[in-house]
Structure 1
Protein backbone atom coordinates (compact mmCIF):
# COMPACT_ATOMS: atom_id res chain seq x y z
CA UNK A 1 0.00 0.00 0.00
CA UNK A 2 1.40 3.36 -1.06
CA UNK A 3 2.22 5.71 1.82
CA UNK A 4 0.41 9.05 1.79
CA UNK A 5 2.22 12.17 2.94
CA UNK A 6 0.49 15.29 4.18
CA UNK A 7 1.70 18.85 3.88
CA UNK A 8 1.11 21.00 6.96
CA UNK A 9 0.95 24.76 6.66
CA UNK A 10 3.46 26.57 8.84
CA UNK A 11 2.09 28.23 11.97
CA UNK A 12 2.99 31.76 10.86
CA UNK A 13 0.59 31.38 7.92
CA UNK A 14 -2.32 30.08 10.01
CA UNK A 15 -2.07 32.20 13.15
CA UNK A 16 -3.83 35.54 12.84
CA UNK A 17 -2.18 38.65 14.11
CA UNK A 18 -4.04 40.55 16.88
CA UNK A 19 -5.79 43.73 15.82
CA UNK A 20 -6.98 46.55 18.07
CA UNK A 21 -9.16 48.03 15.32
CA UNK A 22 -11.39 44.99 14.52
CA UNK A 23 -13.58 45.24 17.67
CA UNK A 24 -14.51 48.79 16.66
CA UNK A 25 -15.77 47.62 13.27
CA UNK A 26 -18.92 46.34 15.04
CA UNK A 27 -20.04 49.94 15.67
CA UNK A 28 -21.28 50.21 12.09
CA UNK A 29 -24.10 47.76 12.91
CA UNK A 30 -25.55 50.21 15.45
CA UNK A 31 -26.99 52.21 12.58
CA UNK A 32 -28.36 49.27 10.57
CA UNK A 33 -31.86 47.81 10.78
CA UNK A 34 -32.03 44.52 12.78
CA UNK A 35 -32.44 41.31 10.82
CA UNK A 36 -34.46 39.63 13.59
CA UNK A 37 -38.10 40.38 14.44
CA UNK A 38 -39.65 41.21 17.81
CA UNK A 39 -41.75 38.15 18.62
CA UNK A 40 -44.66 38.18 19.46
CA UNK A 41 -45.15 41.83 18.45
CA UNK A 42 -43.93 41.37 14.88
CA UNK A 43 -44.32 38.48 12.47
CA UNK A 44 -43.09 37.31 9.10
CA UNK A 45 -45.54 35.88 6.62
CA UNK A 46 -44.52 32.25 6.11
CA UNK A 47 -44.01 30.61 2.75
CA UNK A 48 -46.91 28.60 1.28
CA UNK A 49 -47.15 25.12 2.82
CA UNK A 50 -44.84 26.15 5.66
CA UNK A 51 -44.73 23.32 8.23
CA UNK A 52 -46.45 24.91 11.20
CA UNK A 53 -48.87 23.64 13.84
CA UNK A 54 -50.97 20.51 13.41
CA UNK A 55 -54.66 20.23 12.66
CA UNK A 56 -56.80 17.14 13.18
CA UNK A 57 -60.07 16.07 11.59
CA UNK A 58 -61.56 14.06 14.46
CA UNK A 59 -64.11 12.37 12.16
CA UNK A 60 -61.44 11.02 9.80
CA UNK A 61 -58.98 9.89 12.49
CA UNK A 62 -59.11 6.08 12.95
CA UNK A 63 -56.61 5.90 15.83
CA UNK A 64 -54.13 3.70 13.95
CA UNK A 65 -51.10 5.30 15.66
CA UNK A 66 -49.05 5.36 12.46
CA UNK A 67 -48.25 8.99 13.27
CA UNK A 68 -46.94 7.99 16.69
CA UNK A 69 -44.84 5.16 15.27
CA UNK A 70 -43.07 7.30 12.68
CA UNK A 71 -42.47 10.32 14.92
CA UNK A 72 -38.66 10.53 15.42
CA UNK A 73 -39.02 12.71 18.53
CA UNK A 74 -41.69 10.56 20.23
CA UNK A 75 -43.84 13.67 20.48
CA UNK A 76 -47.19 11.93 19.82
CA UNK A 77 -49.31 10.18 22.44
CA UNK A 78 -52.60 8.50 21.57
CA UNK A 79 -55.39 9.86 23.75
CA UNK A 80 -58.82 8.39 24.47
CA UNK A 81 -61.55 11.02 24.56
CA UNK A 82 -65.08 10.64 25.86
CA UNK A 83 -67.58 10.15 23.02
CA UNK A 84 -64.89 9.12 20.50
CA UNK A 85 -64.64 5.51 19.28
CA UNK A 86 -60.91 5.73 18.53
CA UNK A 87 -57.95 7.42 20.25
CA UNK A 88 -56.59 10.65 18.77
CA UNK A 89 -53.00 11.92 18.69
CA UNK A 90 -51.84 14.48 21.23
CA UNK A 91 -48.82 16.55 20.11
CA UNK A 92 -46.08 17.64 22.51
CA UNK A 93 -44.49 20.78 21.02
CA UNK A 94 -41.74 20.60 23.60
CA UNK A 95 -40.44 17.61 21.60
CA UNK A 96 -41.89 18.08 18.09
CA UNK A 97 -39.36 18.90 15.34
CA UNK A 98 -42.06 19.87 12.80
CA UNK A 99 -40.77 17.31 10.30
CA UNK A 100 -44.42 16.47 9.47
CA UNK A 101 -43.64 12.79 8.88
CA UNK A 102 -46.82 12.13 10.87
CA UNK A 103 -48.87 14.11 8.35
CA UNK A 104 -47.29 12.33 5.38
CA UNK A 105 -47.97 8.86 6.80
CA UNK A 106 -51.58 9.46 7.96
CA UNK A 107 -53.66 7.00 5.86
CA UNK A 108 -56.92 8.97 6.03
CA UNK A 109 -55.49 12.50 5.79
CA UNK A 110 -56.96 13.33 9.20
CA UNK A 111 -53.73 14.84 10.49
CA UNK A 112 -52.67 17.98 8.70
CA UNK A 113 -50.86 21.23 9.31
CA UNK A 114 -51.26 24.95 8.80
CA UNK A 115 -48.74 27.74 8.24
CA UNK A 116 -49.34 29.19 11.73
CA UNK A 117 -46.05 28.97 13.60
CA UNK A 118 -45.94 31.38 16.57
CA UNK A 119 -46.36 30.14 20.17
CA UNK A 120 -44.89 32.26 22.95
CA UNK A 121 -45.44 32.15 26.71
CA UNK A 122 -43.88 33.58 29.86
CA UNK A 123 -43.09 30.00 30.97
CA UNK A 124 -45.52 29.96 33.85
CA UNK A 125 -46.53 26.41 34.70
CA UNK A 126 -50.15 26.80 33.61
CA UNK A 127 -49.06 28.26 30.26
CA UNK A 128 -46.94 25.20 29.47
CA UNK A 129 -50.17 23.26 28.86
CA UNK A 130 -50.31 25.03 25.48
CA UNK A 131 -47.35 22.95 24.31
CA UNK A 132 -49.20 19.66 24.71
CA UNK A 133 -52.54 19.50 22.91
CA UNK A 134 -54.95 17.43 20.85
CA UNK A 135 -55.20 19.46 17.60
CA UNK A 136 -58.53 21.05 16.69
CA UNK A 137 -60.45 20.75 13.44
CA UNK A 138 -58.69 22.33 10.43
CA UNK A 139 -61.72 24.44 9.49
CA UNK A 140 -61.79 26.10 12.92
CA UNK A 141 -58.04 26.64 12.90
CA UNK A 142 -58.19 28.28 9.46
CA UNK A 143 -61.13 30.43 10.54
CA UNK A 144 -59.14 31.83 13.47
CA UNK A 145 -56.06 32.40 11.34
CA UNK A 146 -58.07 34.24 8.69
CA UNK A 147 -59.60 36.45 11.37
CA UNK A 148 -56.37 37.54 13.08
CA UNK A 149 -53.78 37.02 10.31
CA UNK A 150 -50.87 37.03 12.76
CA UNK A 151 -49.88 33.32 12.62
CA UNK A 152 -50.24 32.84 16.38
CA UNK A 153 -51.40 29.67 18.14
CA UNK A 154 -55.24 29.49 18.11
CA UNK A 155 -55.59 28.74 21.83
CA UNK A 156 -55.04 31.44 24.45
CA UNK A 157 -55.35 29.18 27.50
CA UNK A 158 -55.80 25.50 28.30
CA UNK A 159 -57.33 24.33 31.56
CA UNK A 160 -57.10 20.73 32.74
CA UNK A 161 -59.23 19.52 35.64
CA UNK A 162 -57.26 16.72 37.31
CA UNK A 163 -60.32 15.35 39.10
CA UNK A 164 -62.78 15.21 36.20
CA UNK A 165 -60.07 14.89 33.46
CA UNK A 166 -61.91 17.59 31.50
CA UNK A 167 -59.88 19.81 29.18
CA UNK A 168 -61.02 23.29 28.16
CA UNK A 169 -59.52 25.21 25.23
CA UNK A 170 -60.09 28.97 25.33
CA UNK A 171 -59.80 29.92 21.66
CA UNK A 172 -58.69 33.34 20.46
CA UNK A 173 -62.05 34.15 18.91
CA UNK A 174 -63.75 33.96 22.32
CA UNK A 175 -65.21 30.46 21.97
CA UNK A 176 -64.38 27.44 24.12
CA UNK A 177 -63.81 23.81 23.21
CA UNK A 178 -64.24 21.11 25.85
CA UNK A 179 -63.59 17.38 25.98
CA UNK A 180 -62.87 14.74 28.61
CA UNK A 181 -59.75 12.56 28.55
CA UNK A 182 -60.39 8.94 29.53
CA UNK A 183 -56.86 7.60 29.20
CA UNK A 184 -53.79 7.15 27.02
CA UNK A 185 -52.38 4.41 24.78
CA UNK A 186 -53.74 2.17 22.04
CA UNK A 187 -55.94 0.00 24.21
CA UNK A 188 -59.26 1.38 25.54
CA UNK A 189 -58.98 2.51 29.16
CA UNK A 190 -60.32 0.10 31.76
CA UNK A 191 -63.50 1.37 33.36
CA UNK A 192 -63.19 1.61 37.16
CA UNK A 193 -65.31 -0.91 39.02
CA UNK A 194 -68.07 0.69 41.13
CA UNK A 195 -67.60 0.47 44.88
CA UNK A 196 -70.11 -1.27 47.17
CA UNK A 197 -71.50 2.10 48.21
CA UNK A 198 -72.02 3.13 44.59
CA UNK A 199 -73.74 -0.18 43.82
CA UNK A 200 -76.13 0.30 46.75
CA UNK A 201 -76.95 3.83 45.56
CA UNK A 202 -77.59 2.57 42.02
CA UNK A 203 -79.95 -0.09 43.35
CA UNK A 204 -81.87 2.48 45.37
CA UNK A 205 -82.19 4.74 42.30
CA UNK A 206 -83.46 1.84 40.18
CA UNK A 207 -85.95 0.88 42.92
CA UNK A 208 -84.59 -2.64 43.48
Structure 2
Protein backbone atom coordinates (compact mmCIF):
# COMPACT_ATOMS: atom_id res chain seq x y z
CA UNK A 1 0.00 0.00 0.00
CA UNK A 2 1.38 3.36 -1.05
CA UNK A 3 2.19 5.73 1.79
CA UNK A 4 0.60 9.16 1.74
CA UNK A 5 2.64 12.15 2.83
CA UNK A 6 1.12 15.36 4.11
CA UNK A 7 2.66 18.78 3.74
CA UNK A 8 2.46 20.94 6.82
CA UNK A 9 2.47 24.69 6.40
CA UNK A 10 5.05 26.66 8.27
CA UNK A 11 3.91 28.46 11.40
CA UNK A 12 5.12 31.76 10.01
CA UNK A 13 2.65 31.44 7.11
CA UNK A 14 -0.32 30.42 9.28
CA UNK A 15 0.11 32.74 12.24
CA UNK A 16 -1.68 36.04 11.82
CA UNK A 17 0.17 39.25 12.42
CA UNK A 18 -1.10 41.37 15.33
CA UNK A 19 -3.30 44.29 14.36
CA UNK A 20 -3.90 47.42 16.41
CA UNK A 21 -6.73 48.65 14.18
CA UNK A 22 -9.11 45.64 14.15
CA UNK A 23 -10.10 45.83 17.85
CA UNK A 24 -11.33 49.40 17.29
CA UNK A 25 -13.50 48.43 14.31
CA UNK A 26 -16.15 47.18 16.75
CA UNK A 27 -16.91 50.77 17.76
CA UNK A 28 -18.91 51.30 14.58
CA UNK A 29 -21.64 49.00 15.95
CA UNK A 30 -22.25 51.38 18.87
CA UNK A 31 -24.16 53.68 16.54
CA UNK A 32 -26.29 50.98 14.85
CA UNK A 33 -29.70 49.74 15.97
CA UNK A 34 -29.83 46.24 17.49
CA UNK A 35 -31.05 43.44 15.23
CA UNK A 36 -32.36 41.27 18.05
CA UNK A 37 -36.04 41.06 19.00
CA UNK A 38 -37.10 41.90 22.54
CA UNK A 39 -39.30 38.87 23.18
CA UNK A 40 -42.07 38.93 24.39
CA UNK A 41 -42.41 42.70 23.99
CA UNK A 42 -41.67 42.71 20.25
CA UNK A 43 -42.89 40.38 17.54
CA UNK A 44 -42.26 39.79 13.86
CA UNK A 45 -44.67 38.52 11.24
CA UNK A 46 -43.78 34.88 10.56
CA UNK A 47 -43.52 33.52 7.05
CA UNK A 48 -46.46 31.64 5.59
CA UNK A 49 -46.61 28.03 6.84
CA UNK A 50 -43.95 28.79 9.44
CA UNK A 51 -43.39 25.66 11.55
CA UNK A 52 -44.82 26.76 14.89
CA UNK A 53 -46.92 25.09 17.58
CA UNK A 54 -48.88 21.91 16.96
CA UNK A 55 -52.61 21.43 16.56
CA UNK A 56 -54.55 18.18 16.84
CA UNK A 57 -57.88 17.12 15.39
CA UNK A 58 -59.15 14.86 18.18
CA UNK A 59 -61.83 13.34 15.96
CA UNK A 60 -59.50 12.08 13.22
CA UNK A 61 -56.51 11.05 15.38
CA UNK A 62 -56.33 7.23 15.38
CA UNK A 63 -53.58 6.89 18.01
CA UNK A 64 -51.20 5.02 15.69
CA UNK A 65 -48.07 6.58 17.30
CA UNK A 66 -46.42 7.18 13.93
CA UNK A 67 -45.64 10.68 15.18
CA UNK A 68 -43.97 9.31 18.31
CA UNK A 69 -41.90 6.81 16.34
CA UNK A 70 -40.49 9.32 13.87
CA UNK A 71 -39.79 12.11 16.41
CA UNK A 72 -35.97 12.46 16.58
CA UNK A 73 -36.12 14.27 19.92
CA UNK A 74 -38.48 11.78 21.62
CA UNK A 75 -40.76 14.69 22.45
CA UNK A 76 -44.06 12.85 21.90
CA UNK A 77 -45.85 10.66 24.45
CA UNK A 78 -49.14 8.94 23.69
CA UNK A 79 -51.78 9.89 26.26
CA UNK A 80 -55.07 8.17 27.06
CA UNK A 81 -57.88 10.64 27.67
CA UNK A 82 -61.27 9.98 29.18
CA UNK A 83 -63.97 9.66 26.52
CA UNK A 84 -61.48 9.03 23.69
CA UNK A 85 -61.21 5.58 22.08
CA UNK A 86 -57.57 6.04 21.03
CA UNK A 87 -54.55 7.71 22.68
CA UNK A 88 -53.51 11.19 21.54
CA UNK A 89 -49.98 12.65 21.31
CA UNK A 90 -48.70 14.91 24.09
CA UNK A 91 -45.80 17.12 22.99
CA UNK A 92 -42.94 18.29 25.19
CA UNK A 93 -41.65 21.63 23.89
CA UNK A 94 -38.60 21.31 26.10
CA UNK A 95 -37.49 18.61 23.65
CA UNK A 96 -39.29 19.47 20.39
CA UNK A 97 -37.08 20.80 17.56
CA UNK A 98 -40.08 21.88 15.41
CA UNK A 99 -38.90 19.71 12.52
CA UNK A 100 -42.57 18.75 11.91
CA UNK A 101 -41.67 15.19 10.85
CA UNK A 102 -44.60 14.14 13.04
CA UNK A 103 -46.99 16.27 10.98
CA UNK A 104 -45.69 14.94 7.66
CA UNK A 105 -45.99 11.29 8.73
CA UNK A 106 -49.49 11.54 10.26
CA UNK A 107 -51.63 9.20 8.07
CA UNK A 108 -54.93 11.01 8.73
CA UNK A 109 -53.60 14.58 8.82
CA UNK A 110 -54.89 14.95 12.39
CA UNK A 111 -51.62 16.45 13.61
CA UNK A 112 -50.91 19.88 12.16
CA UNK A 113 -49.27 23.18 13.02
CA UNK A 114 -49.86 26.92 12.96
CA UNK A 115 -47.52 29.90 12.58
CA UNK A 116 -47.56 30.91 16.27
CA UNK A 117 -44.12 30.43 17.78
CA UNK A 118 -43.80 32.43 21.03
CA UNK A 119 -43.73 30.59 24.35
CA UNK A 120 -42.01 32.60 27.07
CA UNK A 121 -42.28 32.19 30.84
CA UNK A 122 -40.49 33.34 33.97
CA UNK A 123 -39.56 29.70 34.66
CA UNK A 124 -41.89 29.38 37.62
CA UNK A 125 -42.88 25.80 38.42
CA UNK A 126 -46.53 26.27 37.51
CA UNK A 127 -45.61 28.01 34.24
CA UNK A 128 -43.43 25.12 33.04
CA UNK A 129 -46.57 23.05 32.50
CA UNK A 130 -47.10 25.09 29.33
CA UNK A 131 -44.17 23.28 27.72
CA UNK A 132 -45.95 19.90 27.85
CA UNK A 133 -49.40 19.73 26.29
CA UNK A 134 -51.92 17.76 24.27
CA UNK A 135 -52.59 20.11 21.32
CA UNK A 136 -56.03 21.67 20.94
CA UNK A 137 -58.11 21.44 17.71
CA UNK A 138 -56.79 23.58 14.80
CA UNK A 139 -59.94 25.67 14.34
CA UNK A 140 -59.79 26.87 17.98
CA UNK A 141 -56.06 27.62 17.79
CA UNK A 142 -56.43 29.59 14.54
CA UNK A 143 -59.36 31.53 15.99
CA UNK A 144 -57.16 32.70 18.88
CA UNK A 145 -54.22 33.35 16.56
CA UNK A 146 -56.26 35.55 14.21
CA UNK A 147 -57.83 37.45 17.13
CA UNK A 148 -54.49 38.46 18.71
CA UNK A 149 -51.96 38.29 15.85
CA UNK A 150 -49.07 38.33 18.31
CA UNK A 151 -48.04 34.71 17.56
CA UNK A 152 -48.08 33.60 21.19
CA UNK A 153 -49.05 30.26 22.73
CA UNK A 154 -52.87 29.98 23.00
CA UNK A 155 -52.87 28.84 26.64
CA UNK A 156 -52.30 31.41 29.38
CA UNK A 157 -52.00 28.85 32.17
CA UNK A 158 -52.66 25.21 32.92
CA UNK A 159 -54.07 23.48 35.96
CA UNK A 160 -53.49 19.82 36.74
CA UNK A 161 -55.38 18.09 39.55
CA UNK A 162 -53.17 15.24 40.76
CA UNK A 163 -56.03 13.45 42.49
CA UNK A 164 -58.56 13.49 39.64
CA UNK A 165 -55.90 13.82 36.90
CA UNK A 166 -58.03 16.52 35.27
CA UNK A 167 -56.25 19.07 33.08
CA UNK A 168 -57.65 22.55 32.49
CA UNK A 169 -56.33 24.84 29.76
CA UNK A 170 -57.16 28.50 30.38
CA UNK A 171 -57.16 29.85 26.83
CA UNK A 172 -56.39 33.43 25.87
CA UNK A 173 -59.95 34.13 24.73
CA UNK A 174 -61.26 33.49 28.25
CA UNK A 175 -62.61 29.98 27.56
CA UNK A 176 -61.49 26.71 29.16
CA UNK A 177 -60.52 23.40 27.58
CA UNK A 178 -60.79 20.42 29.95
CA UNK A 179 -60.00 16.72 29.80
CA UNK A 180 -58.94 13.93 32.17
CA UNK A 181 -55.80 11.86 31.65
CA UNK A 182 -56.21 8.13 32.26
CA UNK A 183 -52.68 7.01 31.50
CA UNK A 184 -49.79 6.94 29.04
CA UNK A 185 -48.49 4.55 26.40
CA UNK A 186 -50.02 2.57 23.58
CA UNK A 187 -51.92 0.05 25.68
CA UNK A 188 -55.16 1.12 27.41
CA UNK A 189 -54.58 1.83 31.13
CA UNK A 190 -55.78 -0.84 33.52
CA UNK A 191 -58.91 0.12 35.47
CA UNK A 192 -58.51 0.69 39.21
CA UNK A 193 -60.34 -1.67 41.64
CA UNK A 194 -62.78 1.06 42.61
CA UNK A 195 -63.56 1.77 38.95
CA UNK A 196 -64.05 -1.95 38.29
CA UNK A 197 -66.60 -2.22 41.10
CA UNK A 198 -68.51 0.80 39.76
CA UNK A 199 -68.53 -0.75 36.28
CA UNK A 200 -69.77 -4.06 37.66
CA UNK A 201 -72.55 -2.32 39.61
CA UNK A 202 -73.67 -0.41 36.54
CA UNK A 203 -73.85 -3.63 34.49
CA UNK A 204 -75.81 -5.36 37.27
CA UNK A 205 -78.32 -2.49 37.35
CA UNK A 206 -78.75 -2.69 33.59
CA UNK A 207 -79.48 -6.43 33.83
Instruction: Give the TM-score normalised by structure 2.
Output: 0.91
Q: Which sits farther off after the overlay, 6-15 or 119-128?
A: 6-15
Pairs within 5 Å for 1:1-208: 1-194=1-194
Shift of 1:34: 1.1
- d(CA) in 1 for partners of 2:128, 2:158: 9
SS at match of 1:194: helix
Q: Offset at 1:18?
A: 2.2
Further displaced range: 141-150 or 3-12 = 3-12
How many residues align structurally? 200
Q: Distance in 2 between matches of 1:2 and 1:88?
A: 60
Counterparts of 1:81 and 1:165 in 2: how far apart (Å)?
10
Give unpaired runs (5+ residues) of structure 2. Answer: none
C-alpha distance in 1 between matches for 2:93 and 2:44: 20
Separation (CA, whole Å) in 1 of partners of 2:36 and 2:116: 18
- TM-superposed deviation, 1:6: 2.9
Query: What is the TM-score of this pair, normalised by structure 1?
Result: 0.91
| Deviations, residues 140-189 of structure 1 (Å, cap 9, x unaligned) | 00000000001111011011111110101011111111111111111111
Q: CA deviation at 1:4?
A: 3.5
